[in-house]
Amino acid sequence: MRQSLIVANWKMNGSIQNNQSLLNSFKQNLASVQHADVAVCPSFVYLQQVSDLLKGTVMTWGGQDLSQQNNGAFTGEVSANMLRDFGCKYVIVGHSERRCLYGESDQLVADKFAKAQSAGLIPILCVGELLEQREAGETENVVKRQLAAVINLQGLASLGNSVIAYEPVWAIGTGKTATPQEAQDVHAFIRRQVGEVAEKLQILYGGSVKGSNAAELFAMPDIDGGLIGGASLKADDFLTICQAAR
């Protein structure tokens, strides 16, 4: 049995005050989350605050991105070791907003994945197709290409120490969710691509997961939890999602 995992991606949202009330309210109900590990990925500037609020709980935290470089003259960048300094367990790599808005290539995402692992972080590798790619029947090719960049650089076994998030780009922040069967089909496809690590690899679904649709998504056999954007900013919604994990 794979352990379920629910990851909050706060994106560029939050404030000192809101983060505190959100996490305090969530923590009060943490005991009701019985079947999932829960992690929070805030903006870098709030990592210290989030680690202070979550230390001593079963919750963990991570970064939303990292540099492919170790250190040096890279203004604005954040390294894997810096994330480690703040107690991060995870780091998201290749989120579609990074790929689409900031032009991150498959190769750059693979380099970031490698850097995360070499620092002892668990990369959460996001993959997923655009709407036009889905409509053109290209979903599996796109996901396969995104996975191949990492496999070619790091080897298949490296995926055993990572998490994959399947996030159809057309479902992120749009209110349109993949149906449980559409998501399941791609999750099963991903699992078939990863050979010997298939059984242990956690594959999360992301894309407009809400309290009202989480249970049916998480009931699918190859969906091991979720990467949650908008709904992770509301304590009640996020709690309902975490409680829906199997």
Instruction: Catalogue the active-site residues.
Output: 95, 167
Considering the rule CB under 6 A, would residue 111 count as an interface residue with ligand PEP?
Answer: no
Considering the rule CB under 6 A, would residue 104 count as an interface residue with ligand PEP?
Answer: no
H or E element in which residue 87 lies: none
Considering the rule CB under 6 A, would residue 208 count as an interface residue with ligand PEP?
Answer: yes
Answer for which of 183, 228, 241, 245 binds ligand PEP (CB under 6 A) is: 228
Least separation in angstroms between residue 210's CB and ligand PEP is 8
Answer for which of 14, 168, 206, 225 binds ligand PEP (CB under 6 A) is: 206
Q: How far apart are CA 177 and CA 118, in angstroms?
A: 34
H or E element in which residue 50 lies: helix 47-54
Residue type at position 1: M
By beta-carbon proximity to ligand PEP, the closer residue of 114 and 209 is 209
3-state secondary structure of 1: coil
Size of the site for ligand PEP (CB under 6 A): 13
Considering the rule CB under 6 A, would residue 123 count as an interface residue with ligand PEP?
Answer: no
Q: How far apart are CA 175 and CA 46, in angstroms?
A: 27
Q: 192: burial class by Cβ within 10 Å (0-12, 13-18, 19+)?
A: exposed
* Residues lying near ligand PEP in the complex (CB under 6 A): 9, 167, 172-173, 206-209, 227-231
